[in-house]
């Protein structure tokens, strides 16, 4: 089917859609930098850059959708007002962007609609014409006559994605269609961090506040390992950190936080102890799915960002390798992005890291669309 992608960002969600024989023919994104990159990744799709709440932009989206024969809308509205990692502000106007999806859907009348957001999407009130209403009740009121509505809270870890990430999924099927779109059944086996990145060799961090001599004292094979990483991917680069954080993580085992270290605990620049949550300065576990990737995924001091690491001995001391956050390449694997995703090599790494932290793992999206294909073919 021909798809309209709303709030498209750079197209993380649609990375595998071609494999499902569905095609994004039109997309909309507010921010020009993201829109430009989307065009480079998906040159065959037309993208409208602009504010979806602007009547002129919305009119253009509707007209082109009708001209192109759009049959399905995929919408991933911003979730910062509802996310547990955000302010959870019911008055955040971004919560009401789902209304624009409804307005467009009423005019296009696609066969199917896919809406993705955080779990609090289902329990958030929005203001519509001075009336306070729950988002699911609003969708039912506005679209329930013409569409059957399926709601589910899923964890992408149940769909072969090596990452725990809970999402609210709303699937709408036009009632004149023979098949009602449903969430696919869970996969039997979960994919762990070891499955996802366990085959990658040790990669040392770049310690930005030491001399080259001291760096090589800490990591004698730094340049050798960096060179091997470059052969794997241009995105597999040593993240940069400060010495005091790296030292803390070199003494922290897999799955543990440096706050448990008696000597090598997190310290401030002046040497005093850091106060923080136990999910910071924390290594991931090898034998579970990754924790949810956030937008702030480049910091050791942020949530569950540090590589699991491997025990090794250096100068008679037990240490743990990979005292760093995940590389962008490792994050792509954890997000289930294809390793050959055609992102231009000159794209900012910091920009990509943030975008990946906002996205929905595309392997889950692929499985949802495969379920739609299967259901339609059975009819």
* DSSP run (H or E) holding 311: strand 311-314
Catalytic residue among 79, 99, 256, 289: 79
79 is known as an active-site residue: yes
> In Å, how far from its chain's centre is CA 16?
14
φ/ψ of 240, rounded to 5, equals -95, 135
Nearest to 74 by CA among 359, 313, 353, 271: 359
How far apart are the C-alpha atoms of 237 and 265, rounded to whole Å?
Answer: 26
How far apart are the C-alpha atoms of 46 and 7, rounded to whole Å?
Answer: 14
The beta strand positions in 71-198, using DSSP E, are: 72-75, 112-117, 125-128, 131-134, 147-155, 166-174
How far apart are the C-alpha atoms of 287 and 254, rounded to whole Å?
Answer: 10
Do residues 177 and 196 make contact, with C-beta atoms less than 8 angstroms apart?
A: no
Residue 172: beta bridge partners?
A: 113, 149
- Can you tell me which residue has the tokens 């009336």? 131
φ/ψ of 2, rounded to 5, equals -90, 130
**Residues assigned a catalytic role:** 79
């Amino acid at each position: 089917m021909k798809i309209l992608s709303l709030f498209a960002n750079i197209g993380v969600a649609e990375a595998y859609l071609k494999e499902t024989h569905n095609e994004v023919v039109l997309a909309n994104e507010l921010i020009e930098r993201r829109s430009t990159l989307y065009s480079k990744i998906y040159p065959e799709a037309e993208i409208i850059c602009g504010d979806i709440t602007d009547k002129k932009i919305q009119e253009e989206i509707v007209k082109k959708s009708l001209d192109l024969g759009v049959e399905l809308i995929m919408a991933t509205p911003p979730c910062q007002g509802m996310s547990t990692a955000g302010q959870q502000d019911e008055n955040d106007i971004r919560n009401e962007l789902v209304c624009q999806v409804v307005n467009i859907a009423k005019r296009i009348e696609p066969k199917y609609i896919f809406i993705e957001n955080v779990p609090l999407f289902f329990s958030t009130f929005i203001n519509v014409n001075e009336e306070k209403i729950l988002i699911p009740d609003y969708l039912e009121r506005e679209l329930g006559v013409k569409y059957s509505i399926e709601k589910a809270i899923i964890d992408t870890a149940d769909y072969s994605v090596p990452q725990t990430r809970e999402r609210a999924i709303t699937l709408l099927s036009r009632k004149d269609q023979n098949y009602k779109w449903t969430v696919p059944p869970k996969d039997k086996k979960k994919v762990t961090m070891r499955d996802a990145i366990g085959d990658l060799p040790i990669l040392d961090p770049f310690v930005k506040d030491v001399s080259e001599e001291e760096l090589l004292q800490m990591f004698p094979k730094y340049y050798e390992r960096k060179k091997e990483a470059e052969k794997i991917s241009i995105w597999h680069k040593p993240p940069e950190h400060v010495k005091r954080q790296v030292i803390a993580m070199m003494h922290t085992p897999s799955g543990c936080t440096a706050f448990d270290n008696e000597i090598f605990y997190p310290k401030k620049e002046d040497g005093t102890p850091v106060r923080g949550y136990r999910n910071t300065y924390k290594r991931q576990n090898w034998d579970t799915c990754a924790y949810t990737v956030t937008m702030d995924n480049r910091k050791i001091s942020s949530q569950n960002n540090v590589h699991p690491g491997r025990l090794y001995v250096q100068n008679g001391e037990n240490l743990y390798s990979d005292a760093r956050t995940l590389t962008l390449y490792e994050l792509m694997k954890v997000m289930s992005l294809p390793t050959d995703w055609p992102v231009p090599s000159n794209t900012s790494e910091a920009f990509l890291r943030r975008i990946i932290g906002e996205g929905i793992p595309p392997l889950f999206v692929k499985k949802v669309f495969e379920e739609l294909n299967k259901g339609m073919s059975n009819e």
